[in-house]
Structure 1
Amino acid sequence: MPYTKIENIDLIEIPKITDPRGNLSVVEEGFLPYAVKRVYYLYDVPSGAYRGGHAHKEQQEFLIPLSGSFEVILDDGENKKSVTLNKPNKGLLIPTGIWRELENFSSGAVCLVLSSGRFLESDYIREYDEFKLFKST
């Protein structure tokens, strides 16, 4: 497995069409390096709660803050990086093998996730010690 480093992960600009009636952003086939197999969203996250706390063995995910803001803590097993998502025309592509935690959700925050795979529990690494072992192989 290629060793993904967090310094290679950054926000990606989503095309935006500006109009006096409101803006429109589009993610369509070919924008992401994978076909979208699952779409889900996080919302009504209570103050002080966090989501994530896992890595994926195979799946990639693209996170878009549709409303409000939240922080994504990325960890490649050696280094950590925090990215604030707060603009609906900027998303975060999280490749395989990166531990992520989402926290500091503002009131009304909505996080849309475009995933490269269907839900498969065996693809999740939910224990940090197991993640460190996975990264060392």
Structure 2
Amino acid sequence: MPCRCQLLFQARRVSVDYQLIDFDVKGDATGSLVAIEGAGNIPFKIKRVYYIYGTTSAAVRGRHAHRRLQQLIFCPIGSCEFTLDDGRERQTIRLQHPNQGLYIKNSIWREFNNFSPDCVVMVLASECYDESDYIRNYDEFLREVRG
């Protein structure tokens, strides 16, 4: 039987193809709970989940874009910064609240850095891993997005 629960979220438009999403928080004096369910409360069907941890504050991760993949990224613990680039503008967004996610559509160059010592980055992805979906060269990315 499908889950009838619905996660309420508020999306704030940041640019053309990415958004910050504030997840609904439930809780009381004993603590807080954020539920993320794949049945209708995120903008794609989840096909892959992974997380990154133990990253030094000076490291730069990402440095790529995707042709098809969409992602919802959040830090359940700690914080980091994402620099997003759509080929026309760049914007840096700090993820530092466990109830806030970053929704990135395809064709967005992403880099992330400035990790807090305890940072865990959780990623929900719309596709399974496929190396051919990655654009790992920035000049190639610009050629593809600018047509």
Letter in 2 for 1:15: D
- Do residues 122 (structure 1) and 135 (structure 2) align? no
TM-score (normalised: structure 1): 0.93
Match of 2:68 in 1: 58
- Do residues 7 (structure 1) and 15 (structure 2) align? yes
Match of 2:123 in 1: 113
Query: Contact 1:37 / 1:118 at 8 angstroms: preserved in 2?
Result: yes
Letter in 1 for 2:87: G
Note the residue ranges of structure 1 that are not aligned, 5 or more in a row.
none
Note the residue ranges of structure 2 that are not aligned, 5 or more in a row.
1-12
- Greater length-normalized contact order (CA 8 Å, ≥ 6 residues apart): 1
SS of 2:31's equivalent in the other structure is: coil
Count of residue pairs the alignment pairs up = 133
Counterpart Cα distance in 1 of 2:92 and 2:122: 18
Runs ≥4 residues deviating over 6 A: none
- Cα distance, 1:47 vs structure 2: 2.4
Match of 1:33 in 2: 43
Query: Contact 1:15 / 1:27 at 8 angstroms: preserved in 2?
Result: no
Aligned Cα RMSD in Å? 1.3
TM-score (normalised: structure 2): 0.87
Q: Report sequence identity in percent.
A: 42
